[in-house]
A and B are shown apart, each in its own frame.
Chain A
């Protein structure tokens, strides 16, 4: 069974601070996706990383895929209250047929 573990589960920080969220697995995935979910809504895709060691930037968000394609991290620089939400990593298995989600990191950024 493929599992994705996210840490921390919950993070409460002040506006302007930096943070890193981790997503780890013992399984190799063909790609990893990061989604953000707000209360009462479905998750929305932020980024897909495909190549081991790949780094992608989305404004203040930096995503990295581990060299062995088993783990990923999301770094947010100078967090803002608008970043508050549930961040989910999702691994796509070989062949791209099934997407498995981690339990999520709930981020709260205080003004």
Chain B
């Protein structure tokens, strides 16, 4: 049973280029979350998506960043015109459908994509 798959593991982009990060959730999981982590820091929430819907994008910069989770295929986090400050590890997590109970579903994380902007 494959876990959350992220690719690429490492991505190097020059300033001004576009970065596309892919995430395939665990089988049966319909919810995807993207987090960003800087060295020696915790995870910063960016966006929460269900299939074909963005549920909460409150943590994602309004400009240059976008995310999608199409009906078929992986979730994509897209960063346009990258700048050096975008260099970070980007983690994707998936969970089964939230049942609306208080507990919330545990998140299953991929091993991240390390983006370096030169």
Contact = CB atoms under 8 A, between A and B. Distances in A.
Interface residues of B, number: 29
B110 interface: yes
A42 B56 CA distance: 22
A48 B106 contact: yes
A11 interface: no
A90 B105 CA distance: 12
- A-side interface size class: 20 to 34
A45 B98 contact: no
Interface in A77-95: 88, 90, 92, 94-95
17 contacts: A31-B103, A33-B106, A40-B111, A42-B111, A44-B109, A45-B108, A48-B106, A92-B104, A96-B99, A96-B100, A96-B104, A96-B105, A97-B98, A101-B35, A101-B44, A103-B41, A104-B41
A18 B104 CA distance: 30
B30 to A, nearest CB: 13
A30 B109 CA distance: 21
Contacts of A99: 33, 45, 104, 107
A106 B40 CA distance: 8
B112 interface: yes
B101 A98 contact: no
Interface string A31-75: 101000000111111001010000000000000000000000000
Given A42-B91, A88-B42, A88-B43, A98 B102 contact: no
Specify which of A43, A44, A48, A50 lies most central, judged by the most chain B CB atoms within 10 Å of its CB.
Answer: A43
A43 B37 CA distance: 11
Nearest to B48: A98
A41 B35 contact: no
Contacts of B40: 106
Contacts of B104: 30-31, 33, 48, 92, 96-97, 99
Contact of B102 (A33, A50, A100): A50
